[in-house]
């Protein structure tokens, strides 16, 4: 598995009638990597994942997962992947254990290995003690954890997580990221995930920003942030206009004033703050330095914030229609 890319995608497209959900994407995921797909709802993340998982047939282009073609070697792909869907897919009328056993039988996990694997994955997600309880008594977070355990049961080479933390409380989200980090060490596995939470993208080794069915940019989170560049300094002052004038005068910097706040960008914020106090000559009551966040990255590459992209276009609705 060392040289074969975990996922390789060339010109992948999918349209539903008039709607172009995915418009030609190219990328490669390296073995052992945590690879993130970041974008607003309706950007084409789920459609892409569904194509890679062989649930949806591409309209064009090609993709391989663990070296198998997703169209012609569907079963081979399915054996090598684990899946955690956005919506729950566990059976509430069965116990946690029965859900896992069902999965083990469906995937042909060797009988002798089933109890051992089952205990390992259930312990990992902290559900070992609840294994005999009916899943309908589980909270949303517990169900998601069970799904992660199930997705790992057959020791897949690539684990797909579609919005693994959506709709969960912060503690559970934290826990789930904990498992994901552990997994990489424990299971020799590649993780492909989608999210629309900017802060979660930071856990990825590399990430692609996808918007309106196309990949806008692909790099490590750090490189992406560096590409947006400068730190943002915001200071509070009783005399805003004077501060703006002084900034222009002393440092040649254009600041933006909003009430008592003035903000501006510099390449290295922390080093600049002492000079600011020493040379500005206008009273400063507070100052903050912000490194560029992935939100800024998204804004920079797509021209809108993730929230605006989700709110504006009704693409969510189109996606719902397209799914039917």
Partner 1 sequence: MAVLVGEVRESVSRQSLSHDVRAMKIVLHRELIRYWRDRTRMVSGLIQPLLYLLVLGTGLSTLVTRGQPGVNLRTFMFAGVIAMSVNFTALFSAASIVWDREFGFLREMLVAPVSRASIVIGKCLGGAVVATFQGVAILLLAGLADVPYSPALLLTLLVESFIVAFTLTAFGVLLAARIKSIQAFMGVMQMVMLPLLFTSGGMFPLSNLPTWLTVITRLNPLTYAVDPMRHAVFEHVSASPAVQAVLNPGVTWNGWRVPVMLELLIVVALGLGLLSVAVARFSKTD
Give me the residues that bind partner 1 (CB under 8 A), please: 53-57, 75-76, 78-80, 83, 85, 87-94, 98, 101-103, 105-110, 113, 116-117, 120-121, 123-124, 150, 154-157, 182, 186-188, 324
Nearest to 65 by CA among 218, 74, 193: 74
Bridge partners, residue 263, by sequence: 234, 256
Q: Minimum distance between the CB of residue 306 and partner 1, rounded to whole angstroms? A: 26
Contact (CB, 8 A) for 277 and 249: no
The DSSP secondary structure of 158-174, one letter per residue, reads: EEEEESTTTT--HHHHH
Which residue, among 161, 168, 202, has the nearest Cα to 291 in the 3D structure?
Answer: 202
Of 113 and 287, which CB lies nearer to partner 1 in the complex structure? Answer: 113
Count of Cβ atoms closer than 10 Å to residue 87 Cβ: 9
Q: Given the complex with partner 1, which of 3 and 87 has the nearer CB atom? A: 87
Least Å distance, CB 229 to partner 1, is 41
Nearer to partner 1, 24 or 88 (CB): 88
Q: Do the beta carbons of residue 282 and residue 241 sit within 8 Å?
A: no
Q: By C-beta, is 143 or 206 nearer to partner 1?
A: 143
Calpha distance 95→268 (Å, rounded) = 55
Name which of 162 and 231 has its Cβ closer to partner 1: 162
What's the closest the beta carbon of residue 6 comes to partner 1, in angstroms?
Answer: 14
Angstrom distances, CA of residue 185 to CA of 172, 178, 179, 288: 21, 12, 10, 37
Q: Measured from the CB of residue 115, what is the shortest distance to partner 1 in angstroms?
A: 11
Nearest distance from residue 226's CB to partner 1, in Å? 35
Q: Which is nearer to partner 1, 157 or 206 (CB)?
A: 157
Q: How far is the CB of 182 from partner 1 (least distance, A)?
A: 8
């Amino acid at each position: 598995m060392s040289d074969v890319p975990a996922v390789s995608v060339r010109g992948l497209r999918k349209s539903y009638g008039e709607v172009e959900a995915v418009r030609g994407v190219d990328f490669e995921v390296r073995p052992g990597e945590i690879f993130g797909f970041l974008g607003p709802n309706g950007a084409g993340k789920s459609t892409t994942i569904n194509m890679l998982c062989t649930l949806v047939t591409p309209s064009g282009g090609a993709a391989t997962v663990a070296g198998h073609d997703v169209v012609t070697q569907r079963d081979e792909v399915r054996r090598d992947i684990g899946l955690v869907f956005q919506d729950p897919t566990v059976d509430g009328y069965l116990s946690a254990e029965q859900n896992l056993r069902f999965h083990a039988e469906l995937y042909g996990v060797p009988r002798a290995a089933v109890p051992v694997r089952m205990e390992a994955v259930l312990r990992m997600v902290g559900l070992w003690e609840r294994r005999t309880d009916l899943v309908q008594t589980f909270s949303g977070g517990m169900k998601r954890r069970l799904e992660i355990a199930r997705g790992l049961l057959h020791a897949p080479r690539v684990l797909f997580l579609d919005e693994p933390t959506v709709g969960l409380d912060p503690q559970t989200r934290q826990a789930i990221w904990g498992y994901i980090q552990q997994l990489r060490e424990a299971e020799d596995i590649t993780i492909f995930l989608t999210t629309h939470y900017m802060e979660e993208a930071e856990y990825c080794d590399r990430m692609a920003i996808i918007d309106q069915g196309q990949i806008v940019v692909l790099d490590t989170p750090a490189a992406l942030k560096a590409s947006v560049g400068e730190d943002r300094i915001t200071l509070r002052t009783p005399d805003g206009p004077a501060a703006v004038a002084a900034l222009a005068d002393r440092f040649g910097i254009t600041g933006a004033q909003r009430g008592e706040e003035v903000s501006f960008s510099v390449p290295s914020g922390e080093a600049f703050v002492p000079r600011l106090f020493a040379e500005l000559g206008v009273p400063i009551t507070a100052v903050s330095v912000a490194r560029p966040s992935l939100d800024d990255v998204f804004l920079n590459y797509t021209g809108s914030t993730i929230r605006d992209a989700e709110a504006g276009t009704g693409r969510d609705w189109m996606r719902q229609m397209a799914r039917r």
